[in-house]
């Protein structure tokens, strides 16, 4: 009857790792791919998939870079790593649940469109003043909550989603 009495649907926990700049994130992906031959990198947008695949080829890395829409099953021997967030949490969660994930690692950078809308550049400046280096990772439950809150704010403003080939295009069409 009233939505306040409904149980909140359970969410697959997301473990966010955030870098200041995308280049540092891609370099970290190269290190992960070199260390884990079974790592499969997942992008939500074709532009991201192409960008990471190009970065990998520069270093002679042959790990898979797939689109999230290409995932139909996840094999136990694969280490699945998402290299960006989808702007809408419910889209992410639907895939995570469909694939039976118990926890999902997501790599992001503060210069990506999702963060740019919510003060990513100011955060980068603050982190530099605190002495952080660009290749350092930020990972904390507060970061996870901030990203989830940003996705909820975005979802509240999107009435009819228009799909796009890049995060930049997605935000220009939907925000």
Measure Cα distances from 4 to 11, 122, 151 in Å.
Answer: 18, 37, 21
CATH code of the domain in which 111 resides: 3.40.50.300
Q: What is the pLDDT of residues 99-158, one digit of tens each?
A: 999 999 999 999 999 998 888 888 889 888 999 999 999 999 988 999 999 999 999 999
Quote the pTM value. Answer: 0.91
Domain that holds residue 104: 12-174
The pLDDT value given to residue 167: 98
17 or 120: which leads in pLDDT: 17
Residue 5 forms part of a structural domain: no
Residue 111 corresponds to which tokens in the numbers above?
């210069």
Residue 1 forms part of a structural domain: no
Q: What is the pLDDT of residues 53-72, one digit of tens each?
A: 999 999 999 989 999 999 98
The pLDDT value given to residue 129: 92
User: What pairs with residue 105 in β-bridges?
Assistant: 15
Q: How many domains does the chain have?
A: 1
């Amino acid at each position: 009857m009233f939505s306040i009495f409904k149980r909140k649907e359970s969410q697959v926990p997301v473990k966010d790792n955030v870098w200041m700049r995308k280049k540092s994130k891609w370099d970290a992906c190269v290190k992960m791919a070199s260390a884990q031959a079974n790592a499969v990198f997942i992008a939500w947008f074709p532009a991201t998939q192409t960008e990471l695949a190009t970065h990998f080829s520069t270093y002679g890395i042959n790990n898979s870079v797939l689109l999230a829409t290409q995932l139909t099953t996840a094999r136990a021997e694969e280490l699945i790593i998402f290299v960006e967030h989808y702007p809408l949490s419910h889209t992410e969660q639907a895939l995570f649940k469909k694939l039976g994930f118990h926890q999902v690692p997501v790599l992001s950078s503060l210069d990506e469109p999702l963060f740019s809308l919510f003060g990513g550049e100011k955060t980068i400046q603050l982190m530099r003043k605190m002495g952080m280096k660009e290749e350092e990772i930020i990972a904390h439950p507060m970061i996870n909550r901030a990203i989830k809150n940003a996705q909820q704010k975005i979802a509240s403003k999107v009435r009819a989603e228009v799909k796009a080939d890049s995060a930049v295009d997605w935000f220009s069409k939907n925000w």
